Each structure stands twice: as C-alpha cells, then as structure tokens.
Structure 1
Amino acid sequence: MGILSRASYVIRSKLNALLNRAEDPTETLDYSYEQMRDELQDVKQGIADLTTQKKRLEIQRRKLEENVEKHNRQAREAVQQDRDDLARKALEKKKSKMTQIEELEGQIAELENTQEQLVEKKNELQNRIEEFRTKKETMKARYEAAEASSRVSEAMTGVGDEMEDVGRSIERAEERTEEMEARAQAMDELQDSGAFEDALSDKDDLDRELESLSANSEVESELETLKGELGKSDGNAGNGSVEATDEDVDAELDDLEAELDDAEIEAELEELTDETDANGGSGGDTDVEAEVDVELEESEADADEPRN
C-alpha cells in the first residue's frame, strides 16, 4: 500500500469516525423518510407527465381520424364528379393519415403499459413508505427511550460527562474550602502568637509584653494587699514546689469560709452565755443551749454546701 493510499485510508477512517459520533439515528431516519417521499413524488410526477403525453397522442390520433373521414368524403365526392385524379389524391392522404394513426396507436399502447407499470411501482413504493414510516417511529421511540435510560443510568452512577464535570466542581470546591479553612486557622495562630501586628493599633510586641507584665504585677500587688489585711505572709505559702490548681484553691477558700462561720457562731454563743449569766437565771440554760445547737447545725449545713 502506497503512501497516498494509506493517507487516503486514514483520512476516510477519521471522517467515518467523526460522522459516526455526529450521526443522530432519529435525524437519519427522518431524512431517509423524506428521501423516499421525494422519490414517490418524482414517480407521481412521471406518471402525470406520461399521462399528459398519452393524452396529446390521443388528441393527435383523433384529429387524424377526423382527417381520414374527411379524405374519405373527398374521395367519394371526386368519384361522383368523375374526378379520379382528385379521388386518388384524397385516398393517398387517407392512407397516410391511417398509417400515422397506426403509429400513434402503437405509441399510445406503449405509454399505457408504461403508465400501468409506473402506477404499480408508485403503489408499491407508497406501501413501502408507509411501512418505513411505522418502523421509523418505532425505532425513534426505542432510541429515545434507550437514550433517556442511558442518561439516567449515567446520572445515577456519575459516569456521564455532565456528572463528571459536577464531580470535579465539587472536588475543586472542597479543596478550595479546605485551603481557606487552613489559611484562616493559620491567620488566627499567627495573630495569637503576635507574629502579625494589628493594623488598627500602633502597639508593637514590646508594648504588648510590657502591658502583660504590668497586669501580672497589679495582680501580685493586690494579692499582697489581701495577705497584709489577713495577717498572712509569704513564708506560710508552703515550700513553693508545685503551683496550686483551681480546684485546690476553691477547696481552701471553702475551708476558710467554714472556719470563719464557726468563729462567728462561737462568738454568738459566748454573747448568749454572757447574757444568760447577766440575767442570773438557770432555767433558761436549756433553751439557750437548744437554740445554740440548732444554730450550730444550721451553720455546719451551710458550710458543707459549698464543699459539695
């Protein structure tokens, strides 16, 4: 196979593949149906032309038959007038016209046979067209149903071109979203670490660190003030091995509150005892002690609630 032959074969194969992909069976069927209808129309037009030609020959034959009758009368009249020469000419014309009539009859017979054949072909072609039309509509319905089923299956399985584009769009959106979330977290981390300065603030890292130290010193100063008011010193703060947790601090505060409540109760008890002694009566000792016991129980219950 030569180079030109191979090139021609490759080009024809490529064109055939392109045509197969571009071909729509429904459009092809409709086009074939229209072509058959055009052929039927051509056959009908041919029958009409043939019939017209036959009618012209029949009209011409009729005229020739009329001329034959005319020449026959002329020959009779010439014979009656003893004009054999005129009668002979009339008969010669009559014979010529009769010969033409015979030829026309042969042509008319051929046209009639051709017309009958064309009519039969027209009827056969028309029947075939009707059958093809039925098959065409059936095939179109089957093809459209198969195409719809294929599209639904592709949509369900996600293997179609459109669904592939949708899947890629979703993947790109997820990647973009993850990238933005990571970026937002990175910005928050950098902002918290002080790597980025606030654009609306004129403070730098040194100013922020000094403010933090100032806040811690204020807390320590307030703590020392509280210790001074309570008569505590740093020497009783323990050996300073491990910093106390929030739970331990809360527990110690609860114990302090309970001790303060007990001290207040004892002070009240002493006041009641002094009042009793001042009244000089012993009969009220039992009632006072009962009231003191009730107040002690209530204070102990109140002191236990924060611990729980």
Structure 2
Amino acid sequence: MSSIADRIAALFRIKANKALDRAEDPRDVLDHSYVQQQELLQKVRRGVADVATSRKRVDLQVHRLRQSAEKLEGQAQQALSVGREDLAREALTRRTAVNSQLAELQVRQASLQADEEKLSLAAQRLQAKVESFRSQKETIKATYTAAEAQTRITEAVTGISEEMGDVGMAVQRAQDRTDQLQARAGALDELIASGVLEDATLPAGRDDIQAELEAATASASGGVEAELTRLRARLPASATGPAVEAGGAREAPPERSEQGKTS
C-alpha cells in the first residue's frame, strides 16, 4: 500500500514540476535570484558598517581612557610635589583601574578590527560574485530570448507548411472534382446526342427521328432536292403531271368520297 502511495506522490510531484516548468519564465527566475543576491550583499555591507561603527565607539572609549590615565598620572605627580602622598596614592589607584579597562577595550578593539576586515573581504568577494552572476544572467537571458524567438519562427514556418499542405490537398480535391464533373457533362452530352437521353430543354413533341431529320437537313441542304426526285420516281405516272409544277410538288385536289358518287 505504501509503494502505491509513494508512486502516486511521485506522479503528483512530476506533474507539479511540469506545470511549474510551463508556467515559470527562466528570465524571471534569474532576475529574482539576482535581486536576492543583491539583498544579501546589502546585508553584508550593513554588517560591515555596524562593525565599523562599534569599532569607532571602542576607539573613542580607548582614547578617553588613555587621556584619563595620563591625567591621573599627572595628578599623582603633582600631589607628590606638594607633599600630598595620599592624593598621589589615590590618583595612581584610579589610573590602575583605568588601565585595566583600557586593556579590555583594546582587546575588544582588536576583535572588532578583525571582524571588520573579514566582513569587508567577504563583501568584496560577494560583490564580485554578484557582478559575475549578473553578466552570466544577461547572457543566459539573451540566449533564451533568441532561442524562444527561433522556436516561434520555426513553429510559424511549420504551421505555414502544414497549412500549405492542407491547401494543396484541397486544391487537388477540387481539381479532381472538376475533372469528374467535366467528364460527367461530356458523357451526358454524348448520351443526349446519341438519343439515349432526351434533352429537357427542347420543345415538347420532338423525337429522335425529328432530331435526325433536322440534323440531316442542316448538314446537307442540297440533299433535299435529291430526296424529292427519288420520291417523285416512286409516285404513279398519273399523279406526277398535275401534282408537280415548276420543280415542286403541288397538292392534288381531294378525291370525292364514295357517298358523293352515289348521290
């Protein structure tokens, strides 16, 4: 059970890391790290300033104690010159206490001086590291920006290529469809011309024989006279005289019906 829980937790960590990688910008991370380093450098500099201030205060106390010790020594000498040995003893006693304090302050002064030097050296080293990081940061940011721009251009070009491929396929499909429609139209024209299909645009009552007759008449207008001569030759001899005149057929008078003859 614990192994399954561990695997689920690892899966969630992987998903979270991927989400963070997509969300965060490395340039922002670098800028944030640079700001943190600057803040750390400022803290070190403030520490150096605080130590230097403490040392200055100790220096002033040391200077005052030295002045006090010199003054007490002068007072003791002056007391002895006037015969006041008691005052001279008191002055020397106080000078001993001052010298004791002075010795302690000098130790403190030396310690603060060493701390100040160490912090100053650390601040200088940190300053050099911050400057080096800043240069490296700007280089990485410029490289990342260039890579990001190149990636966008490549993606755009790839998208255009894919789109042009789709357009080419669409053009090819349109061309194939056009060829099919043209072939179908040609086949229909051939079927209409051969009489298999009727042309719905023609007037009612027209048939294939009439269409053939019209086609023959339009293609060979001189064949009409030849056909008439052939038809005249097939008529009886009695009908050719009155019915034909001036090279043409004239309508014969109607025959009388059987009923008229009877009457």
Structural RMSD (CA): 3.5
For residues 54-93 of structure 1, what are the structure 2 equivalents within 5 Å? Answer: 54-93=55-94
Give 1:244's match in structure 2, choosing from 211, 215, 220: 211
CA distance in structure 2 between the aligned counterparts of 1:90 and 1:4, rounded to whole angstroms: 82
For residues 166-185 of structure 1, what are the structure 2 equivalents within 5 Å? Answer: none
Task: Please name the residue that 2:244 is paired with.
Answer: none
For residues 47-58 of structure 1, what are the structure 2 equivalents within 5 Å? Answer: 47-58=48-59
CA distance in structure 1 between the aligned counterparts of 2:87 and 2:81, rounded to whole angstroms: 11
How far residue 16 of structure 1 moved from its aligned partner, in angstroms, is 2.3
Instruction: Give me the TM-score of the superposition, normalised by structure 1.
Output: 0.53
How far residue 121 of structure 1 moved from its aligned partner, in angstroms, is 1.2
Does the Cα contact within 8 Å between 2:217 and 2:223 map onto a contact in 1?
Answer: no
Summarize the Cα distance change of 1:64–1:243 in structure 2 as closer, same or farther, 3 Å threshold: same
Amino acid at match of 1:250: A
Task: Please name the residue that 1:302 is paired with.
Answer: none
Q: Mean Cα displacement is larger for which, 49-58 or 35-44?
A: 35-44
Summarize the Cα distance change of 1:95–1:244 in structure 2 as closer, same or farther, 3 Å threshold: same
Summarize the Cα distance change of 1:257–1:102 in structure 2 as closer, same or farther, 3 Å threshold: farther
CA distance in structure 2 between the aligned counterparts of 1:68 and 1:4, rounded to whole angstroms: 76
Task: Please name the residue that 1:127 is paired with.
Answer: 128
Identify unmatched segments of 5+ residues in structure 2.
Answer: 175-202, 227-263
Deviations, residues 173-197 of structure 1 (Å, cap 9, x unaligned): x9xxx9xxxxxxxxxxxxxxxxxxx
Task: Please name the residue that 2:239 is paired with.
Answer: none
Task: Please name the residue that 1:183 is paired with.
Answer: none
Task: Please name the residue that 2:150 is paired with.
Answer: 149
CA distance in structure 2 between the aligned counterparts of 1:136 and 1:117, rounded to whole angstroms: 28
State the aligned residue count.
191
For residues 158-307 of structure 1, what are the structure 2 equivalents within 5 Å? Answer: 158=159, 242-244=209-211, 247-251=215-219, 254-255=221-222
CA distance in structure 2 between the aligned counterparts of 1:241 and 1:146, rounded to whole angstroms: 77
CA distance in structure 2 between the aligned counterparts of 1:257 and 1:120, rounded to whole angstroms: 126
CA distance in structure 2 between the aligned counterparts of 1:43 and 1:51, rounded to whole angstroms: 12
Instruction: Give me the TM-score of the superposition, normalised by structure 2.
Output: 0.61
Summarize the Cα distance change of 1:60–1:247 in structure 2 as closer, same or farther, 3 Å threshold: farther
Provide the identity percentage.
36
CA distance in structure 2 between the aligned counterparts of 1:43 and 1:95, rounded to whole angstroms: 39
